Amino acid sequence: MLLPALGGRLPDRPDALRVDGENASWAELRATAEAVASRLVGAPAVAVHATATLPGVVGVLGGLLAGVPVVPVPADAGPVELAHILTDSGAALLLADVPPKHPVPVPVEPVRAGRTASGGGPAEPPGTATALILYTSGTTGAPKGVLLTRDAIAHDLDALAQAWAWSPDDILVHGLPLYHVHGLVLGVLGALRVGCRLVHTGRPQPERYAAAGGTLLFGVPTVWSRIADDPSSARELASARLLVSGSAPLPEPVFARLAGLTGHRPVERYGMTETLITVSTRVDGDRPPGHVGLPLPGVRTRLVDDAGAVLPADGESIGELQVRGPTLFAGYLGMPEATAAAHTPDGWFRTGDVATVRPDGQHRIVGRASTDLIKSGGYRIGAGEVENMLLAHPGVREAAVVGAPHPDLGQEVVAYVVGDGVTAQALIDFVATGLSRHKRPRRVHLVEALPRNAMGKVQKRQLPG
């Protein structure tokens, strides 16, 4: 069973799950999700407006119980993203309690339309069934649908539970969005697999984390950095058991300040939408700042140079990190060539991250091979997607988007544009008409020309950021 907490055999409580200020027991979750599931059986896929609300959670669980692939739609998706995700995924309908702000190409149904079910429900789908289709940006083009099976999710959550001694006694607290691996797979399905309480704080603000009484807290580095800048909230976390950071590099000064204020050395873990979490420091192991730990049980990693030769784990050799194991995705939806290109001929997934590995197995992520994937506040943003949006503006002739270092967000989205009669603000606002809020460039530089090499290719590394 993927989610034992919904199986009716674990000790339940009225506030087993709290989100958006609303409580639900697992039995209530199960009944409302079964009612949703009964409307979905047989659908090719179901899209769910994945807001951090109880209906958002119930919509996802309904799809999972029905064995229908669930496509979580980002809460603030712009019309361009929304249309792409709904069309590309083949979703039969969109479950949303608040009607979408933009026209959509599929029927919209409220999550809470059905009556609660009275037990029974559909049989557990096989482990090889697709549980989630998560849309994620590549270096170019529109976001791709990442197919994640039930088995991959189950394996990953069990491996993390082992690494972190995550148990039913924990109270998990976080305030992350519920349409990514971090907030949804670990942050919701993790609690329901382990059978622990979950408090979702709405937004990941330091004072909300402090007040939630958690034992296990999840955050992206921007969240931890803001907590470290709020000493009174940070000190409240001394009573927790484990603070976990992931989705982007945790700066070593933030690690040190957090450890000083809370008494906890944060656990860092590394993953991707395509691989789930593959590497983590452990509750019972070394947690060196700047390192993301050891491969999880069942996962193998290797470092490879540009020529494809495997590099030694000597703590110095830098190469592309490649991974394999039971947590990997089943491919990009409808894109066999992109799926093949993401793997080596001998079956390893190319992460595109550049790393070192120490002789004791500790992995360190030192950067990304491509400048075209940006991480801002833990969100993965493809430069190509933002460039295409900018190029759709009639006043834009050329556009290059890069990630520039940012003290709070890790990286910020910056655009260089060759245009006619446009202002920076007009272009920022224009991107916001099509894409999610966090994909908007924070800065737009209007320039005479983009730096290009002799072949005419834009030289992004020459842009000042």
173 touches 197 (CB < 8 A): no
Annotate each residue in 198-237 with x if it binds ligand AMP (CB under 6 A) or - if it does not, as one string. Answer: ----------------------------------------
The two structure tokens encoding residue 436: 């999610």
Residue type, 65: L
- Our finding on whether 363 is near ligand AMP (CB under 6 A) is no
Q: Are strands 300-304 and 22-24 parallel, antiparallel or unpaired?
A: unpaired
238 touches 259 (CB < 8 A): no
Q: Which of 48, 176, 188, 383 is close enough to bind ligand MLC by CB under 6 A?
A: 176
Closest distance of CB 445 from ligand AMP, Å: 25
Calpha distance 401→382 (Å, rounded): 9
- Our finding on whether 442 is near ligand MLC (CB under 6 A) is yes
Calpha distance 399→266 (Å, rounded): 39
Q: For ligand AMP, which is the closer residue by CB, 30 or 144?
A: 144
Return the residues of window 391-420 that contact ligand MLC according to CB under 6 A: 409
The two structure tokens encoding residue 405: 């270092």
Return the residues of window 315-354 that contact ligand MLC according to CB under 6 A: none
Calpha distance 423→49 (Å, rounded): 33
Span from 184-192, 200-208, 247-255, 434-442 in contact with ligand AMP (CB under 6 A): 247-255
Calpha distance 449→457 (Å, rounded): 12
* C-alpha distances out from residue 376 to 98, 402, 405, 432, 441, Å: 27, 11, 9, 16, 11
- Our finding on whether 220 is near ligand MLC (CB under 6 A) is yes
> Which of 350-366 are b and which e, b meaning 16 or more Cβ less than 10 Å from the residue's Cβ?
bbbbbbbbbeeebbbbe
- Our finding on whether 241 is near ligand AMP (CB under 6 A) is no
Q: Which of 55, 190, 246, 419 is close enough to bind ligand AMP by CB under 6 A?
A: 246
Partner interacting with residue 2 (select from ligand AMP, ligand MLC, none; CB below 5-8 Å by kind): none
Closest distance of CB 376 from ligand AMP, Å: 11
Closest distance of CB 83 from ligand AMP, Å: 21
- Residues that bind ligand AMP in the complex, under the rule CB under 6 A: 136, 181, 246-249, 268-273, 292, 351, 353, 365, 368, 375, 380
- Residues that bind ligand MLC in the complex, under the rule CB under 6 A: 176-177, 180-183, 204, 220, 222-223, 246-247, 271-272, 377-379, 409, 428, 437-438, 440-442
